[in-house]
Structure 1
Amino acid sequence: MRIKQGRLKQIVLAAAGLVFMQAAAAADLFTVTGTVSGLSSETRSFGLSSAEDVFNFPRFESLHTRFGNYTGVEAAAMHIDFRGLPMVVSYPVAESSLLVLHVPDLNIHEEFHGATREESRRAFSDFMKKNGGGILNRIMKRLVAESANDPIAGNPNSLMGQMVANDFANGFTSLVSNAGTKEDNASNLIGIGARVSSIKQDGLRNTSVTIPLSYTIRSDIDPRRQLIFNLPLTYTSVESAKAYNLGFGVAYRLPINDEWTITPSAGYGATGSKDLGAYGQAVSAALTSAYVISGSGYDIAIGNMVGIYKTLKLEAGGYSYNPDIQNLVFRNGVMFSQPVNVFGRKMSIEYSLIDTRYTGTKLYNEGYDEIGVTLGTNKNASSARSFLRAGATYLFSPRSKGFTLNLGYWF
């Protein structure tokens, strides 16, 4: 099989264009319909780009800027769509400092009585920081079920989604490409790369950029026995909102025989987004099986993973969080690979189909599929001391659709 250079360039450019294409009309992360009742009633609807903007609304300056008839004493109510979760923040009584938080879906109703409206607003802020009886945790747990773009869980680009993908890659995706043989020289490997994922969910474009760093220690006795350390760094944007992920993982590849390898792994990750109003950390433990069937000029690999992913308590910025998200995740895939000749070089191409399913805590997206193609070094035709792989993946489900471009180099 020979791929012409011009044709390959066309394919790469087309895939890149699809990944980075943005929606023609950007949607809002947060929408507010507010009403101020005074001598004349005024109602306005508008969108906001950050959670901080939403919770600044009880301030006099914020209300007066949007509603010219607000002087600081009128009754005012803000009906907020907070990333899919409806809530109401209001001063329900004119000439009163009473501030009310109402989240109907969670049966939450809290009142704050200060000497002034500003004191009530501060009491509300302090209450949320101290996680008033677990209310903030309940809100965050509901958001992973209702929000298409929660940074903690519920979508492929979330912290949990990225941890699942990394664990499976350690035990299947990169293993099949880079396993080596018993006869290879047992040199350790440094891995570096880039992964760009752009997914459309609920009318919003979620784009993440990941730098996956790794270090692999290969056994002198059998180079297929490998201890892998991962340090993925991720930046995610949802319209104008930003989130950051930091992860650490360790995995051990253990060949059972020439065809079958199992890989236990454990991981930790943390994420934070002031714009999205969410912070969290999670741990994981997973076991992946990879079985390779070799034919004449091709390989078929079957991968199966089961893992547990759980959030932990996190304190940040004076806030305390523990949404108690726990999921048992199943990720299964099949890969077909064969040697090819590209620009006169011996390489290999891989076609993959991967299915991911979540059980446990209710999530916005509990399952999705990925179709991928990867091109790179033919491990059977060149030194196992270095590997280069580049590929594209199309992800789809009833709630998410998008593309991923990835590049990895191990040396």
Structure 2
Amino acid sequence: MPITLPFRHAMPPVRLLLASALAATLLPAAAHAACNDKNFSLVLNVDPGNGVETGRRCEDTAENFFDLLNDAAFQQMVPSYTDMAFAQANIDFNGVPITLQFDFESSELLFAIPALGIHEVFAGTTRDASADMLVEYLKKSGVMSQIMRYQAAHSPHSAIAGPGGLIPSAAAADFDAAMSDTMREITGGSGPDSPTFSIGASYGSMTVDGRKGELTTVPFSRVWRSDSTPGQMFTLSGSVTMVKMAGAEAYHGGLGAAFRLPLSERWALTPSLRYAVTGSADLASVAGMYSVGLSSTYHIPLDGLDLVIGNMAGYYKTTKLSIGDYSFDPKIKTWSLRNGVMLAQPVNLMGLPLSVEYSLVDTRYTGGTEFFVDNTQEIGVSIGTNRSGDVSKSFARFGLRYLHGRDTNSITLSGSYWF
């Protein structure tokens, strides 16, 4: 429920109808207000009484955008602006169209997000005071939860559901862990001297709806193997990720647990649990998330090659998280269906036993909150020392992965070391 702020009230019926009509008129302009290389934009239309003048500003971060909501910034955008002039603003808030309006000789701020059915009036003693009330409302009322849910469904730039976001990163980690554990078993990396710790790093370059971004992840894991049941193991894993997009930064990380249960020499099931968090003052987004999943891996030995078919179903749901000025639960939930194949080919380079692994993965999100990027496809190749530990009690692997989805493409380089 929205918080109660002094001098804030819902619009009376007549003004509500007028504001709704205004919002409908401005929505097309708001859609064109977006800057290709920025996350937030504001187009200001000012009429001091002798004609309309227009100004525009684009910003990387939410805090810089909030700094635009005052008389001084408005006057920089449109020199003819005064606190008595009529002013309308079309805003693109990282994919969400918002409208603002000050009437002639009024300090009341009309605020609307038509797509969410939100219409409010902030009545401060000055226009700056009204704008301050709006910023507090955005940060603390819970409306950002609705905005984050709208972004997930209508924009590829969601910190929760977009490329490199909290849920896609968690789904990829759960699936990759099951496939990696299976490959270790196939290539013999399950003996008493096999590595039990891993550390890695990956760097990805993304293009999302025309904006350039970067994705950096540091994963780690610890494995405990059963002495009595070959192939049975418990894995504790985690990761820390930084996403940069058009000058804004977001961070997320979490911990997961998985238990590999072999049902036959070729088939294994891996149930998993994970909890993760994301936070970004730059994007005005925070959320926690828990997930449960079940992966199936099936090994088909070929002539000198090993083929693994992997299937995973996971349920992902956000929870409330408080960081700094922000405290939200966007109430986003989805099922992730991830299916893929991996082919391992042993090679020998100057007497060194290596293994090349090729992978193809398809991911779908369904059965909950609508996702704008509701499916992705990725191909990958990696090369490393043989996982069987024939060379030493440790091994390393380096890989390249390409991912494609709606309005998004990324290329990721990765490296990992087991010891």
TM class by shorter-chain length? 0.7 to 0.9
Partner of 2:385: 377
Change in CA separation of 1:382 and 1:111 when aligned onto 2, cut-off 3 Å: same
Q: Structure 1's 164 and 183: CA in aligned 2 closer, same or farther, altered over 3 A?
A: closer
**Equivalent in the alignment of 2:117:** 107
Q: Is the 8 A contact 1:194 1:406 kept in 2?
A: yes
Shift of 1:26: 6.3
- Deviations along 1:335-362, one digit per CA (max 9) or x if unpaired, are 1111111243111111111000000211
Question: By how many angstroms is 1:189 displaced?
Answer: 1.1
| Pair 1:29–1:361, CA change in 2 (3 A) | same
- Please give the alpha-carbon distance, in whole angstroms, between the structure 1 residues aligned to 2:282 and 2:386: 44
Structure 1 84/318 Cα, relative in aligned 2: closer, same or farther at 3 Å?
Answer: closer
| Corresponding residue of 1:29 | 39
Question: Is 2:182 the partner of 1:171?
Answer: no
- Residue in structure 2 matching 1:127, options 122, 134, 137: 137
The answer to whether the aligner puts 1:282 opposite 2:289 as a matched pair is: yes
Mapped to 1, the partners of 2:202 and 2:276 lie a distance apart of 17
Letter in 1 for 2:55: R
For residue 64 of structure 2, the aligned residue among 53, 69, 91 is 53
Q: Is the 8 A contact 1:148 1:202 kept in 2?
A: yes
- Between the aligned partners of 2:395 and 2:229, the Cα distance in structure 1 is 18
| Aligned counterparts, 1:41-120, within 5 A | 41-91=52-102, 93-120=103-130
1:150 touches 1:276 (CA, 8 Å); kept in 2?
no
TM-score, normalised relative to structure 1: 0.88
Distance in 1, Cα, partners of 2:267 & 2:401: 25
How many correspondences in the alignment? 383
Give the drift of 1:297: 0.7
In the alignment, structure 1 residue 208 sits paired with structure 2 residue 219: no
Q: Secondary structure at the match of 1:136?
A: helix
Q: Is the 8 A contact 1:184 1:223 kept in 2?
A: no
Report the RMSD for the aligned CA atoms in angstroms.
2.0
Match of 2:17 in 1: none
- Structure 1: how far apart are the matches of 2:276 and 2:247? 23
Q: Which of 368, 375, 380 is equivalent to 1:367?
A: 375
CA distance in 2, matches of 1:250, 1:385: 24
Any conservation in 2 of the 1:84–1:143 contact (CA below 8 Å)? yes
The equivalent of 2:18 in structure 1 is none
Q: Do the aligned partners of residues 385 and 260 (structure 1) sit closer, same or farther apart at CA in structure 2, a change above 3 Å counting?
A: farther
Alignment partner of 1:240 is 2:247: yes
Residue 317 of structure 1 is matched in structure 2 by: 324
- C-alpha separation in 1, matches of 2:279 and 2:186: 35
2:416 is the alignment partner of 1:405: no
Cα distance change, pair 205–171 in 1 and its aligned pair in 2 (3 A)? same
Alignment-derived partner of residue 15 in structure 2 = none
Mapped contact 1:145–1:362 kept (Cα < 8 A): yes
- Equivalent residue of 1:253, what SS? strand
Shift of 1:295: 2.2
**Secondary structure, aligned partner of 1:94:** coil
Unmatched tracts of structure 1, length 5 or more: 1-24
Between the aligned residues of both structures, percent identity stands at 36
Identify unmatched segments of 5+ residues in structure 2. 1-34
- Residue of structure 1 equivalent to 2:305: 298
Instruction: State how far apart, in whole Å, the 1-side matches of 2:392 and 2:308 are.
Output: 19
Residue 393 (structure 1) aligns with: 401
SS at match of 1:304: strand
Are residue 220 (structure 1) and residue 227 (structure 2) matched?
yes
> Which residue of 1 is the match for residue 13 of structure 2?
none
Does the Cα contact within 8 Å between 1:160 and 1:309 map onto a contact in 2? Answer: yes
